[in-house]
Amino acid sequence: CSDMNTKHLEKGTSIEQWFGLVKGRARGFYNNINAKSIDNEMKRMEERLKVLLCCVIVLLA
């Protein structure tokens, strides 16, 4: 299990790909709301995800 985790982290781009996937899904989910709402919500979500990602990286380091 730990081998899989280290391989996943070594790629580096996997985190960016995951982040892009989450953003894409969120955009699809909020597709019926106007653009300003989407932008504000995405900014809030990005901040939360960045904090979460930093915590995960610190815990794994």
Give just the sign of the alpha carbon dihedral 19, 9, 1, 58.
negative
SS3 assignment, position 32? coil
Which pLDDT band holds residue 9 (cuts at 50, 70, 90)?
low
SS3 assignment, position 31? coil
| pLDDT for position 20 | 83
| pLDDT for position 12 | 60
Question: Position of tokens 């019926």?
Answer: 32
CB 48 within 8 A of CB 10: no
Instruction: Single out the residue of 55, 36, 58, 37 nearest to residue 47, CA to CA.
Output: 55
Q: What domain count does the chain have? A: 1
The arithmetic mean of pLDDT across residues 12-25, rounded, is: 77
SS3 assignment, position 29? helix
For residue 31, give its domain range. Answer: 2-60
